[in-house]
Structure 1
Amino acid sequence: MVPVVIVGAGPVGTTAALLLARWGVPSIVLDALPGRDRVGSKSICQHRDVLDIWAAVGVGEQVAAEGLTWTTARTYHRGTELFSTTFADRGRSPFPPFVNISQARTEELLDAAVAAQPLVDVRWGHRVTAIEQDADGVTVRCGDEELRAEYALLCAGGRCGELRDQLGVGFPGRSFDDRFLIADLRTDLPGWSHERRFFFDPVWNPGRQVLVHPCPDRMFRIDWQVPADYDLAAERESGALDARVRQIIGDRPYELVWTSVYRFHSRCATRFRVGRVLLAGDAAHLYSPFGARGMNSGVADAENAAWKLAWVLRGLAEPELLESYHVERHAAAQENLQVTSATMDFLVPPDADRAAFRADVLARAVTDPAARAQVDSGRLYEPFWYVDSPLTTPDPQRPFRGRPPRGSVPDPGPGVLVPDVPVGSTRLRALARDGFLLIGGSAPGCASLPLEGEVAEVLGARPGEVWVVRPDAYVAAVVPQEQVPAALARAVGGAVDRTRTAVG
């Protein structure tokens, strides 16, 4: 019996497999496709903290090096810039706030890491038709073939409704009538190569929106909001598509590399854990892309699932720990839905009142700074905060102050990702991802780090505190030394006291 079967070999599934292997847990990854689909940019925008997760499996640095770094997001109404957003770093991360790189290239880099990892077995052309479970394990069926596993991770994308139905998991939400035309084109746009630009009601797409993202190799990704009855083939044939492109780039040479038309959805699974099966990525949630919260949040799902599965499979925690996967990641999904749904309601108002509100806000925002705060062009991805998790020990001296301002990050404290800073020849996040880390204290089986210097400064630490950091680099507790055992027990979901083993 294999420890884990992963259904879906996309970035979320392969990330989970690599992270499990890092903890010494073998997995089999099944995908219905015969191989990779290398066409189109798809999910292009990778956040700093996702690059950090990929760094743990040897991929993050290369994704960052090959991707195009951007640090500013600008928003316009017609021809006027309303505001720009830059992105804070509480510490000194080696990674930029965002890089743009095609999903196909990201998958190539993940595949290379998988090929070098003997604990990961990827099987293409294996369409999973059934997932069943009993007290001892999970049975995964691919046609006439059956696989038995202790646990399964469903990362098969948003169209795995049959498998969700078998698990008794609903997928409520809504779909949007307007379509979005997406084009990858290669050209030169001086001054546009390191910024995300969002346009409300530009003269070249009146009444709707356009988003422009720079990508490596002189590529630009352009998203136009288009009517529900938009016909890409007809526009291409008539020459209107060329005219649409030239309204943005002017009279300069370009190569149209890929086009597609999407309808966006906002949906969330009712359960992220059903017994021995966990749901992750698009199988668990679908968001509109204005905020880059899809694949980024899916990779965060993968890390959360991987360390908890590893702790349970290695006898370091009881199976009840897995329920915290649902609690934490479902809460993250609800936050992402709230943020992206608010964006879509502003971009595509669902009724006359909200359409009038949007028109008024945009008109006033040209001259009124207060109105600019109401303009929603997409709040970009940020890691969720597990302040209400059963694994987190609250600290009354560090109350969570709610969703931070656009472009900001929460103050360090329980439930928040620990800021990254250099520590000797390594860095704080890298140390944290080797297991449970105690900063300023000690406990059997845990790595320890002094609470001093830049580490203490970036945390805003007080004398006598011990910072308990989980294997996914989230702060589980800030407590006195005598309370560390209780905080560690809580952080693994119960009374098991063996909280750490070495990687691999």
Structure 2
Amino acid sequence: MTVAVLGSGPVGQTAALLLARWGVPVVLVDEHEVRDPVGSKAICQQRDTLDVWASLGAGCLAEEGLTWTTARTFHRDTELFSLKLPDGGSALPPFVNLSQARVEEVLDELIAAQPLIDIRRGHRVTGVTQPGRVVVECDTAAGPRRIEADYAIAATGARGDTVRRALGQHLAGVSFRDLFLICDIRADLPGWAAERRFWFDPPWNPGRQVLIHPCPGSQFRIDWQVPEDYDLAAEETGGALDRRIRAILGDRPYEVVWRSVYRFHTRLVERMRAGRVLLAGDCAHLVAPFGARGLNSGVADAENAAWKLAWVLRGDAGEELLESYHTERHAAAVENAEVTTATMDFLVPQDEARRRRRAEVLAGGVHAEVDSGRLAEPFWYTDSPLTTPDPRRPFAGRPPRGALPPPGPGVLLPDVTVPAGRLRALAREGFLLLTTPGVDADGVRSVEIPVGGALGARPGEAWLVRPDAYVAAVLRQPTRSDIERAWSAAAGRECSGRF
């Protein structure tokens, strides 16, 4: 029983490693013979993404990444506000910045050491069909090749049009007219190493925005919003790029390590499950990068897909469980699109009324109304068919920026440790029941937790946690039948008889 993972960017790499951890053989397909080691690209890794990678043996990414804890927002020369990121009680930082190239390098090392992953480089996918199994047609230097698998994860990125067409999908949505110039700069900027800085309408980019992220090795990623007719080559030749950079750095020496120009999009496929193929990451959804919701959401796609495919392939769930992948992750993509579209509408107002409104908000400096990007956070599966609601813990909706909802059904388990160990690590070994003293969990894989604490557990409760560390149900004085019903719902089928 094999899964083909199409595309070996960070999302595909993560999916392959997670599947292998569950004991599933993987064929990892990528069109490139070698990696492109240049450029920061996707640089912002959120705590829960780092947690997934740490569970795979890549804890060094959290250690190597540059931790930033403060997000500063300016209007022209005036600082409007700063946001301190909460530590969340976790040993992992809320965010780190690390180049995508380094992430790929570390994950490639883990893949090379994993015997269940067969990597096929230099394989350009030309077609995908599903005559019972998944058949992937590829072009290689040695000629056409065919790969067969029971299921597939399509993580071929934004340019994965061939795969999307083969699956009857396309990225519907909008593209923004303005461009964004991105430069990786190496320079000495004292005091900037732990802060993300965002400017509305700075004097050195009037009428538009600038975002600066610190990176390891005295590097800084600078994003300028520029007009749609911007010409990078002409600006470099005429010296305007140097003047643009020096308007920020002053007379300090600097080195341009990498530069590129991007157009941002908000686009989403209609279906993230197409038969036996699950679409993930940029292959399924594109959002503007303000808030770092692209890569982080893609890693969440990978974890959601991996445990569900593993349960189906092991016979612990029926194929209907895979439909919940679309239900849960498409809803997450819709929320990300809503959040980032609101940000882009504030950054680049589309009409005069919105421009006036933005000017009023910035002049007033009201923190809650200034939108420079809501930072990436987990999506909460409170409306999922796999979640058993608890009327004592109703979900109050999206919390304020920088805050997390209280623990409960559909919410990612807080990163806490009990005498038995770290709860998320224990959950990622399979379904787990957390019990308070007095609850009978005979025959069920369980861990006793204290009343109160980070979960706010109450006497006589049992918390059922999924293999991706999301809470599936909170049960009060449960019987064995109560536990089995919640477990069956969380696995998308009748109870298979084992946790």
| Matches for 1:89-238 after TM superposition, within 5 Å | 89-90=87-88, 92-134=89-131, 136-143=132-139, 144-238=144-238
User: Structure 1: which 5+ runs fail to align?
Assistant: 366-370
**In 1, Cα distance between equivalents of 2:442 and 2:181:** 56
Paired residue for 2:42? 43
Question: 1:442/1:309 Cα in 2 relative to 1: closer, same or farther (>3 Å)?
Answer: farther
Paired residue for 1:70? 68
1:17 aligned to 2:16?
A: yes
**What TM-score comes out, normalization by structure 1 length?**
0.95
1:491 aligned to 2:493?
A: no
Residue identity opposite 2:183 in structure 1 = A
Paired residue for 2:398? 403
- Of residues 474, 480, 485 in structure 2, which corresponds to 1:478? 474
| Matches for 1:48-447 after TM superposition, within 5 Å | 48-59=47-58, 61-90=59-88, 92-134=89-131, 136-143=132-139, 144-365=144-365, 371-424=366-419, 426-440=421-435, 441=439, 446-447=444-445
Q: What is the SS of the residue equivalent to 1:373? A: helix
Paired residue for 1:450? 448
Give 1:171 shift: 1.7
**In 1, Cα distance between equivalents of 2:43 and 2:493:** 39
Give 1:334 shift: 0.3
Question: 1:351/1:13 Cα in 2 relative to 1: closer, same or farther (>3 Å)?
Answer: same
- Of residues 447, 461, 472 in structure 2, which corresponds to 1:465? 461
**Does structure 2 retain, via aligned residues, the 8 Å contact 1:436–1:499?**
no
**In 2, Cα distance between equivalents of 1:71 and 1:298:** 23
Q: Deviations over 1:127-176 (max 9, x none)?
A: 11111003x31111113211111001100001112221221123210001
**In 1, Cα distance between equivalents of 2:73 and 2:425:** 35
**Does structure 1 retain, via aligned residues, the 8 Å contact 2:484–2:495?**
no
Residue identity opposite 1:414 in structure 2 = P
- Out of 104-113 and 478-487, give the one that drifted further: 478-487
Q: Deviations over 1:368-422 (max 9, x none)?
A: xxx3311100000000000000000000000001111000111100000010112
**In 2, Cα distance between equivalents of 1:187 and 1:224:** 17
**Does structure 1 retain, via aligned residues, the 8 Å contact 2:418–2:449?**
no
**In 2, Cα distance between equivalents of 1:335 and 1:289:** 14
**Does structure 2 retain, via aligned residues, the 8 Å contact 1:39–1:258?**
yes
Question: 1:359/1:129 Cα in 2 relative to 1: closer, same or farther (>3 Å)?
Answer: same
Stretches of 4+ aligned residues off by more than 3 angstroms: 441-446
**Does structure 2 retain, via aligned residues, the 8 Å contact 1:445–1:498?**
no
Paired residue for 1:7? 6
**Does structure 1 retain, via aligned residues, the 8 Å contact 2:487–2:495?**
no
Percent identity between the aligned chains?
63
RMSD: 1.3
Give 1:87 shift: 2.5
Give 1:499 shift: 4.5
**In 1, Cα distance between equivalents of 2:298 and 2:444:** 28
Question: 1:426/1:464 Cα in 2 relative to 1: closer, same or farther (>3 Å)?
Answer: closer
Q: Deviations over 1:70-103 (max 9, x none)?
A: 111111101111111222344x211000000000
Q: What is the SS of the residue equivalent to 2:125? A: coil
Give 1:427 shift: 1.1
**Does structure 2 retain, via aligned residues, the 8 Å contact 1:88–1:409?**
no
Q: Deviations over 1:305-325 (max 9, x none)?
A: 000000000001000000000
Q: What is the SS of the residue equivalent to 1:459? A: coil
**In 2, Cα distance between equivalents of 1:484 and 1:102:** 44
Q: Deviations over 1:274-329 (max 9, x none)?
A: 11010000000000000100000000000000000000000010000000000000
**In 2, Cα distance between equivalents of 1:444 and 1:15:** 35
Give 1:64 shift: 0.7
**In 2, Cα distance between equivalents of 1:203 and 1:107:** 37
Q: Deviations over 1:439-479 (max 9, x none)?
A: 005657742111216xx411111111100000000000001
The higher relative CO (CA closer than 8 Å, separation ≥ 6) is in 1
**Does structure 1 retain, via aligned residues, the 8 Å contact 2:383–2:410?**
yes
Paired residue for 1:368? none
**Does structure 1 retain, via aligned residues, the 8 Å contact 2:87–2:93?**
no
Q: What is the SS of the residue equivalent to 2:180? A: strand
**In 1, Cα distance between equivalents of 2:443 and 2:331:** 30
**In 1, Cα distance between equivalents of 2:236 and 2:295:** 30
